[in-house]
Amino acid sequence: MAAEPPSVGMLFLTFLRIALSGFGGALPFARRELVERHRWLGPTEFNDLLSICQLMPGPNICNVSFCIGWRFQRAAGAAACFLGLILAPCVIGVSLTVLYLHYGQLPLVSAILRGISAAAIGLFLGLGAKMAYAERRSPHILVFAALAFIGAGPLGVPLLAVILFLAPFSILAAWRWSA
């Protein structure tokens, strides 16, 4: 963990870096910045924060930005993190949309987009592996993670239903084995 809280400017720049790195998904890059590079959070602390942020409405990475910013610099930090996170992607997104509307039907553009999709899938698999590794001493957590994956993934159960069903059992197991 950092000895002193990061400044508002450092929070902005860190989330700007996350945003500029996170094409196809920013969470793997957020973990790298927050846990591995700056050490503002520990691995399990990141997992806990992400779990809370997944229960909140809105994109997970936006929720993470608010929580991190608020933790270190209150309202100014939350605003800096969020602005750093959305500024560049908004400009890039509008620009790419204009280009896609003009050239998206070309086979080369379609092939490029499929390649980018494959890279994004790999990033999320890597993030999942790092999160699972951080919880390796708590196998019950991994069991519930697998059940949630199966329910929301291959079985197609709505995510809210999966959470509402598994949460009581997961909380009970975490309480039981952490005592």
Torsion over CA of 15, 21, 23 and 25, rounded to 10 degrees?
Answer: -60
- Report yes or no on whether pTM surpasses 0.95: no
Q: Give per-10-residue mean pLDDT for the chain (179 aa).
A: 85 97 85 97 96 93 97 98 96 90 90 86 90 88 93 95 94 83
Report pLDDT for 77: 98
pLDDT of residue 165: 96
Q: Where are the alpha helices (DSSP H) in the chain?
A: 8-21, 27-31, 43-55, 60-103, 107-134, 139-152, 159-178
pLDDT of residue 114: 84
Alpha carbons 114 and 122: distance in angstroms, whole number = 13
CA 145 to chain centre: 16
On whether the CB atoms of residues 43 and 132 are closer than 8 A, the answer is: no
Three-state SS across 51-98? Answer: HHHHHCCCCHHHHHHHHHHHHHHHHHHHHHHHHHHHHHHHHHHHHHHH
Write down the pLDDT at residue 117.
Answer: 84
Encoded tokens for 32: 């790298």
Token pair 């003009």: residue: 102
51, 39 contact by CB (below 8 A): no
pLDDT of 121 reads 86
